[in-house]
Amino acid sequence: MRIEKKCFYVDGEWVPAAEPDRVRVWTPRTGEVLGTVPSATAAEADVAVRAARVALRSWAASQPDARAAWLERIADELEKQAEPTATLICDEVGTPIRLARKIQTDLPIANLRHHAAQLRRMCFEERVDESLVLREPVGVVVAITPWNYPLHQIVLKLAAALAAGCTVVLKPSEIAPLNAYALAEAIDRAGLPDGVFNMIVSSDPQVGVRLTTHPEVDKVSFTGSTAIGKLVAAQAAGTLKRVTLELGGKSAAIVMDSADLGRAVRHTVNSCFLNSGQTCTSLTRLLVPHALRHECEQIAVAHAAALAVGDPRLQATKIGPLKTSAQLQRVRGCVEAGLREGARLLCGGLDSPTNVPSGGFYMQPTIFGDVRPGTTIEQQEIFGPVLAVIPYSDIDDAVAIADGTPYGLAASVWGEADAAQRIARRLRSGQVDINGAAFNPGAPFGGMKESGYGREAGRFGIEDFLEYKSLQGA
């Protein structure tokens, strides 16, 4: 059944859209229309910003314990609808249903509660000699979020901003906005004060420009491509807004000769193909000692063959479709570039997978061997299920290759613990996993170089929405 949305959520109410323009939302499962949403105008963006500005004074003055309680209420309301929300995101994004439950739904709920717990432990003022140093909310925040982990990325920004005492205008990706409506409905049921959270959707680029240049917006938090992130930063500079950018990545896994090869390679393959490779932190480059490259390639190919590609609604599916037809064609173009530039195709490639729903945007998981540094598939963020296996001569060579792209979002090191940590310290990356350590929701998340700046998650994410004020003689 097609989902039809006709309103935006502004100032605590569902407000009918001013224009009849509709944005179609496609399901990558079958290439069919899943639903439609309205497309906001610049004037409607102004109304949402104004609502957030009016609500700011009382929300910023509220007690941290009260704000924490609101986050927990929103989490409770989301949890009541966790199963239908997971199914919705499975259809909207193409994430296999088991992962959609765990990552796309359960993790955002847990993050709301985690931010509430962090907020209760934070101190918002301290004495520094004769000064009283206060930490105050930055103000009205515009959150612009992507389509690959849509609810998770919204919540990372929203929970931190609300915890800090900021009010929010959310502009989710028009490619996957339906989950944002599910969140807005949960917020409405929770009874959050009017204007504290506002949501509009628009396919008009000028609406994004209006939000990033708006004189009553104090901060923009953006997650998306590096190219668009640069535009956002330039637009926000005109009014000297605070900006947080979480952008692209081309993450490397460095496997030392002391590593458990099987575990290291399988973990890297899983990371690369997670969410059909549509993950900014995916380990898309597997760096292995030259003498071990064939053994590592064999492990990678065997593991890839065990990852079922198919309908994301099926429990057995490990790899679903890419989000859009355009994204599928882009990834195929990168595979063609890999073949053209001399990489050795180990598995996958351009042939379409079998036993998948017709019309969907599916691709075989693809692995290249003997990938040379500087080539297209070694340098570009592909955002699809494509792994590059790159041999290195020594650790200095491995570090140079890992750091040899414009990005610096994530990395991984495998081997003897002390040596692995020494290598991790050398890498120019916002986060480095050592021997497959689990994601820590309380640790700061963000990038270096062209992967962006600012941090999300835990108390570090909340601090990103705070300003310092010094009261001398207070």
Angstrom distances, CA of residue 322 to CA of 92, 147, 191, 433: 11, 11, 36, 26
Whole-number Å distance between alpha carbons of 433 and 296: 19
Check 77, 246, 297, 378 and give the catalytic one. 246
Question: The tokens 């994410």 sit on which residue?
Answer: 461
3-state secondary structure of 381: coil
Cα(71)–Cα(437) distance, integer angstroms: 28
Catalytic member of 280, 378, 381, 456: 280
DSSP state of 12: T
Q: What string of H, E and C letters represents the secondary structure of 151-210?
A: HHHHHHHHHHHHHHCCEEEEECCCCCCHHHHHHHHHHHHHCCCCCCEEECCCCCHHHHHH
Question: Is residue 246 among the annotated active site residues?
Answer: yes
Nearby residues of 372 by Cβ (< 8 Å), 6 or more positions away: 341, 342, 343, 378, 390
Region of 12 (left: φ > 0; alpha: ψ -120 to 50; beta: rest) is left
* Parallel/antiparallel/unpaired status of strands 167-171 and 197-199: parallel
Query: By CB neighbour count within 10 A (0-12 exposed, 13-18 middle, 19+ buried), where does 324 fall?
Result: middle
The token pair that represents 205 in the structure block = 């680029």
Q: Packing angle between helix 150-164 and helix 178-190, nearest 10 degrees?
A: 40
The answer to whether 7 is a known catalytic residue is no
Tokens standing for residue 350 = 């351009």
For the annotated catalytic residues, the residue numbers are: 246, 280
